[in-house]
Amino acid sequence: MYDFLIIGVGSAGCNIAYLLKKAGKKVAIIDREGVAGGASGVAGAFLSPLPGKKNPYNNLVNKSLEYALDFYQNLIPSSVNKKGVLRVPNDNFNKDKLKDNDIEYVYFDDKRLKNISKNFKDIDGYFYENAATIDPLEVCKRLIEGCDFYQKDIKNLTYKKDFYEIEELKTKNIILAQGVSSPLVEYPYMKISPIFGLRIDVKTSTNIPFSIHKSISISANKKDGTVAIGATHERHDTSLVECTTTCEKCKFYIDKEKEQINTLLNQADELIKLENLEVVKTYKGARATIKSYFPVIGEIINYKKSLEKYPSIKNGTKIPQNLLEYYPNLYTINALGSRGFVFGPYIAKILSEHILNNKEIPVEISTQKLFYKTARKCKL
């Protein structure tokens, strides 16, 4: 009998597993693909700030980033390559947006960049010191040390009185950390849409002093000498692709691979000349996002039963969240989008404090916010 069973062993599942285990709980984790077999094993993994005027979203990103950098440096310093990031203005982030924020930066003009490396193209940008890359697989493995791991493809959940039964396993609580995969219970108010992406590792004789980001990111040279370049962003009709497998095995990528690698290499070439370039590895994955781009954590509300009980929610009646109908002892941590390793440690901390000490979850990342929004718009 476990206290917690976590389904999905990516950044979300590993971070919450780590904290619950640390709090003395008996924790098991399950994944059909192994550790970091989904989007998490694919990530660059760049940890960069989000500049711009303060708003709730970049506030969460930057708070999470600060927390994550400290957390990874304490937990597994060998995995952190903290060299900073140069942000080069583009259509989404013009110079005003890059300058006008609370994050400290240094402006590098093209001459200064060329003094650092003759390989820089004619670019300028804003350098943010508080940025790093990590090794996602190493981090995930470290986070789940001491948890029991089962490689299984879970098809459904059975709840019997006070516990869940999954084949030979019993548990009091379940946390779904499934990324883009079809959820094991229905909570249609949390509509996950996948954003597919491809990234590469290359070998190059060029020395890259820090990460460079425009529309794509190039990492500083990693310890093994390779450089990460990523990633492409592509939505496609989810009805055509059922996310029950990894992107490596997904038909969607078969014809696209060459084209996407070329896109990355061309965009990288606009920033810095990479000499003696060789692509050594390709990674493909799908980011789980919702419309607002916020991650989501908390108890899973039973949408249908809650609306049957309180149909007036649809007309805007305010029913307190504790009166809604919930699936018993069932939580989610998902929709980490393009920043799974930035958000992971911080939102897992919030979720663990909620589960263990009943601390409130900020409304913008709560399941309740999505529930009320969907119900009031009578969307489903």
Ligand X SMILES: Cc1cc2nc3c(=O)[nH]c(=O)nc-3n(C[C@H](O)[C@H](O)[C@H](O)COP(=O)(O)OP(=O)(O)OC[C@H]3O[C@@H](n4cnc5c(N)ncnc54)[C@H](O)[C@@H]3O)c2cc1C
Q: Rule CB under 6 A: which residues touch ligand X?
A: 7-13, 30-33, 37-40, 42-46, 153-154, 177-179, 181, 184, 197-199, 230-231, 285-288, 334, 336-342
**Cα–Cα distance for residue pair 379/348, rounded to 1 Å:** 29
**Cα–Cα distance for residue pair 306/311, rounded to 1 Å:** 8
**Cα–Cα distance for residue pair 266/270, rounded to 1 Å:** 7
For ligand X, give the closer residue by CB, 169 or 319: 169
**Cβ contact 60:335 at 8 Å:** no
Residue showing tokens 């990528």: 253
- Tell me the closest approach of the beta carbon of residue 126 to ligand X, in angstroms: 19
Radius of gyration of the CA atoms of the chain, in A: 21
The helix/strand/coil state of 92 is: coil
- Tell me the closest approach of the beta carbon of residue 342 to ligand X, in angstroms: 5
**Cα–Cα distance for residue pair 73/184, rounded to 1 Å:** 34
**Cα–Cα distance for residue pair 25/9, rounded to 1 Å:** 17
- Tell me the closest approach of the beta carbon of residue 176 to ligand X, in angstroms: 8
- Tell me the closest approach of the beta carbon of residue 79 to ligand X, in angstroms: 13
**Cβ contact 187:244 at 8 Å:** no
Identify the burial level of 375 via C-beta atoms within 10 angstroms of its C-beta, where 0-12 means exposed, 13-18 middle and 19 or more buried.
Answer: buried
- Tell me the closest approach of the beta carbon of residue 156 to ligand X, in angstroms: 9
For ligand X, give the closer residue by CB, 214 or 306: 214
Identify the burial level of 225 via C-beta atoms within 10 angstroms of its C-beta, where 0-12 means exposed, 13-18 middle and 19 or more buried.
Answer: exposed
Residue 309: DSSP 8-state: H
- Tell me the closest approach of the beta carbon of residue 82 to ligand X, in angstroms: 14
- Tell me the closest approach of the beta carbon of residue 374 to ligand X, in angstroms: 21
For ligand X, give the closer residue by CB, 50 or 113: 50
Sign of CA dihedral 282, 288, 294, 298: negative
For ligand X, give the closer residue by CB, 30 or 69: 30
